[in-house]
Structure 1
Amino acid sequence: MSGDAGVVEGPLHGYHHETYVVPLPGRPGEAEPVRWKCREPRPGLLWFDRRCFASEEELLRALQGRIEGIPDLIQAGSAGLQRFIEGETLGALYGSGGGIPSSLLGQIVSLFGQLARVRPDSLAAERTCTSVYRAAEGDSDGFLERLILFTEEEVYQRNMPDFKGLFYDLGLDEASFGRLRERVSGLTRRPFHLLHADLHRENFVVDGMGRLWTIDWELAMFGDPLYDLATHLYLMRYPRDQEDRMTGQWRKAVESVVPGSSDGREKDLPKLLAFKRAQSVFTDVIRTALSLEEERTVDASLLARAGDRIRQVLSAATVPLGIKVPAAESVTAALGRWYEERAESAEVMAGAAVPGGA
Structure 2
Amino acid sequence: MSAVEGPLRGYHHETYVCPLPGGTGKGEPARWKCREPRPGLLWFDRRCFASEEQLLRALDGRIDGIPDLIQVGPTDLQRFIEGKTLGALHASGSEVPPHLTGQIVSLFGQLARVRSGSLTVDRTCTSADRSSEGDTDGFLERLILFTQKRVYQRNMPEFEGLFRALRLYDISFEHLRKHASGLTDRPFRLLHADLHRENFVVDGEERLWTIDWELAMFGDPLYDLATHLYLMRYPADQEGLMAEQWSEAVESAAPGGSAGWETDLPKLLAYKRAQSVFTDVIRTALSLRQERTVDEGLLAQAGDRLQKVLGAGAEPLGMSEVPTVERVTAALGEWYEKRAEPVA
**Fold equivalence (TM over 0.5):** yes
| Larger Rg computed on CA atoms | 1
Identify the match of residue 205 of structure 1 among 201, 212, 220: 201
| 8 Å Cα contact 2:24-2:30 kept in structure 1 | no
Identify the match of residue 293 of structure 2 among 291, 297, 300: 297
Aligned length: 342
Q: How does 1:43-58 map to 2 (within 5 A)?
A: 43-58=39-54
- Letter paired with 1:338: W
Shift of 1:130: 3.0
User: Quick one: distance in 1 between partners of 2:12 and 2:36?
Assistant: 9
Q: TM-score, normalised by structure 2?
A: 0.97
- Taking a change above 3 Å as real, the CA distance of residues 188 and 7 of structure 1, as seen in their structure-2 partners, is same
- Letter paired with 1:325: V
Do residues 63 (structure 1) and 53 (structure 2) align? no
- Letter paired with 1:241: D
User: Quick one: distance in 1 between partners of 2:310 and 2:24?
Assistant: 54
Q: TM-score, normalised by structure 1?
A: 0.93
Structure 1 residues 166-201: Cα deviation after superposition (integer angstroms, max 9, x where no partner): 000000011100111110001010000000000000
User: Quick one: distance in 2 between partners of 1:303 and 1:294?
Assistant: 13
Identify the match of residue 13 of structure 2 among 17, 27, 31: 17
User: Quick one: distance in 2 between partners of 1:307 and 1:129?
Assistant: 36
Shift of 1:13: 0.6
Aligned residue number for residue 108 of structure 2: 112
SS of equivalent to 1:23: strand
Identify the match of residue 322 of structure 2 among 317, 325, 333: 325
User: Quick one: distance in 1 between partners of 2:182 and 2:72?
Assistant: 48
User: Quick one: distance in 2 between partners of 1:327 and 1:207?
Assistant: 44
Q: Which moved more, 1:60-69 or 1:327-336?
A: 327-336
Identify the match of residue 335 of structure 1 among 328, 332, 337: 332
Identity of aligned residues (%): 73
User: Quick one: distance in 1 between partners of 2:100 and 2:205?
Assistant: 12
SS of equivalent to 2:2: helix
Q: How does 1:78-97 map to 2 (within 5 A)?
A: 78-97=74-93
Which structure 1 residue ranges, 5 or more long, are not aligned? 348-358
Q: Which moved more, 1:122-131 or 1:178-187?
A: 122-131
User: Quick one: distance in 2 between partners of 1:61 and 1:40?
Assistant: 19
SS of equivalent to 1:141: helix
Identify the match of residue 121 of structure 2 among 120, 125, 148: 125
User: Quick one: distance in 1 between partners of 2:109 and 2:330?
Assistant: 48
Shift of 1:26: 2.1
Aligned residue number for residue 354 of structure 1: none
RMSD: 1.4
| 8 Å Cα contact 1:193-1:222 kept in structure 2 | yes
Structure 1 residues 276-325: Cα deviation after superposition (integer angstroms, max 9, x where no partner): 00000000000000001111101111111111111010010111011121
- Letter paired with 2:137: D
SS of equivalent to 1:235: helix
- Letter paired with 1:328: V
Structure 1 residues 59-105: Cα deviation after superposition (integer angstroms, max 9, x where no partner): 00000000000000000012110000000000000000111111101
Identify the match of residue 34 of structure 2 among 38, 44, 50: 38
User: Quick one: distance in 1 between partners of 2:92 and 2:22?
Assistant: 35
Aligned residue number for residue 6 of structure 1: 2
Do residues 312 (structure 1) and 308 (structure 2) align? yes
User: Quick one: distance in 2 between partners of 1:233 and 1:160?
Assistant: 30
